[in-house]
Amino acid sequence: MKTLIATEKPFAPKAVEGIRKVFENAAMETVLLEKYTNKQQLLDAVENVDAIIIRSDVVDAEILAAAKDLKIVVRAGAGYDNVDLDAATAHKVVVMNTPGQNANAVAELALGLMVYAARNGFDGTSGSELLGKKLGIHAYGNVGRNVARIAKGFGMEIYAYDAFYPVEAIEKDGVKALSSTEELYTTCQYVSLHIPSTPETKKSINYALLTKMPEKAVLINTARKEVINEEDLVKLLEARPDFKYLTDITPGNDAELREKFPKRYFTTPKKMGAQTAEANNNAGIAAARQIVDFFVNGNTKFQVNK
């Protein structure tokens, strides 16, 4: 059995070593394709492999068609919007993710971005503190829960809205559960996005919603760029000189945002949320173990295209 680790943005070397060990112990082979710069390299690399580990790397119908021996793709991470699930199912390929493995890393970055916003990008001017400020966590999954845990240490007043997570479980964490996105955005000066990119959520963060945020609003996005209505975001930043947008996923209209709002818009140069040695290790090794467990025991616990 041969597994390809296909990572345009590589894991930390120690994590790659750990993944290799897992496969070695199971008498399986590992091949590595890092920092590839075009799709053809990926098309060539997938040709004779039984399994693939990816990050935000795109596995579409063309890649799946080229991967003749492929049985399983594991997205080392939470979001699997980069995999064409229908095409995978049509090719009888199992797709899995590794939920929770990089949640703390992403949550720490979300708080880091809040501090950066509160301190005016460390530009020397007098900023503000997070203590006592209202934080809205939009979706209370693995990352959202970690954001709540860390934000408590900052002394923030924490609110959350999640359409699927039980209210009692949210409130047990000392977080106030609100009943709609509108209520969350109306209540909170800081909002941290943790919704996945799905047909329902795409472009759902729009002008009508953002305009409800209180004075000196800060929107933090460590989720997906697709959930933002980018035209509306420009309109909003124009209408609200007090509004800041900080993101870990460079928007499609980055150049326009940079030019128009240099003090109120910030993006990391490369998606950094899960880019820690710990998260790489957690997610990468979990992915490798899931692949071994799939081939040895037929375990499909984390399958997302059932």
Closer residue to ligand 3PG, CB minimum distance, 84 or 157? 84
Whether 197 and 224 have beta carbons less than 8 Å apart is answered as: yes
Residue with tokens 């060539």: 44
Q: Single out the residue of 43, 81, 80, 45 nearest to residue 63, CA to CA.
A: 43
Residue among 42, 78, 87, 148 that touches ligand 3PG (CB under 6 A): 78
- Closest residue to ligand 3PG, based on beta-carbon distance: 77
Q: Is 55 in the site for ligand 3PG (CB under 6 A)?
A: yes
DSSP string, 147-212: HHHHHHHTT-EEEEE-SSS-HHHHHHTT-EEPSSHHHHHHH-SEEEE-----TTTTT-B-HHHHTT
Closer residue to ligand 3PG, CB minimum distance, 237 or 274? 274
CB of 133 to ligand 3PG, least distance (A): 25
Whether 120 and 242 have beta carbons less than 8 Å apart is answered as: no
Burial 251-286 (b: 16+ CB within 10 A, else e): bebeeebeeebeebbbbbeebbbbbbebbbbbbbbb
Specify which residues 205 forms β-bridges with.
228
In whole angstroms, give the CA distance from residue 69 to residue 2: 10
CB of 227 to ligand 3PG, least distance (A): 12
Closer residue to ligand 3PG, CB minimum distance, 107 or 170? 107
Please identify, among the stretches 74-82, 83-91, 110-118, 297-305, the one whose residues bind ligand 3PG according to the rule CB under 6 A: 74-82
Q: What is the DSSP letter of 264?
A: T
Report which residue type is found at 8: E
Q: Is 79 in the site for ligand 3PG (CB under 6 A)?
A: yes
Closer residue to ligand 3PG, CB minimum distance, 77 or 136? 77
Closer residue to ligand 3PG, CB minimum distance, 1 or 95? 95
Q: Is 77 in the site for ligand 3PG (CB under 6 A)?
A: yes
In whole angstroms, give the CA distance from residue 274 to residue 247: 14
Closer residue to ligand 3PG, CB minimum distance, 217 or 283? 283
Helix/strand/coil for 251: coil
Instruction: Identify residues 231-290 at the interface with ligand 3PG (CB under 6 A).
Output: 271, 273-275
CB of 242 to ligand 3PG, least distance (A): 29
CB of 102 to ligand 3PG, least distance (A): 5
Q: Mask of contacts with ligand 3PG, 95-124, x by CB under 6 A?
A: -------x----------------------
Closer residue to ligand 3PG, CB minimum distance, 102 or 229? 102
CB of 273 to ligand 3PG, least distance (A): 6
In whole angstroms, give the CA distance from residue 233 to residue 182: 16
Which residues in this chain contact ligand 3PG in the complex, by CB under 6 A?
Answer: 9, 55-56, 77-79, 102, 271, 273-275
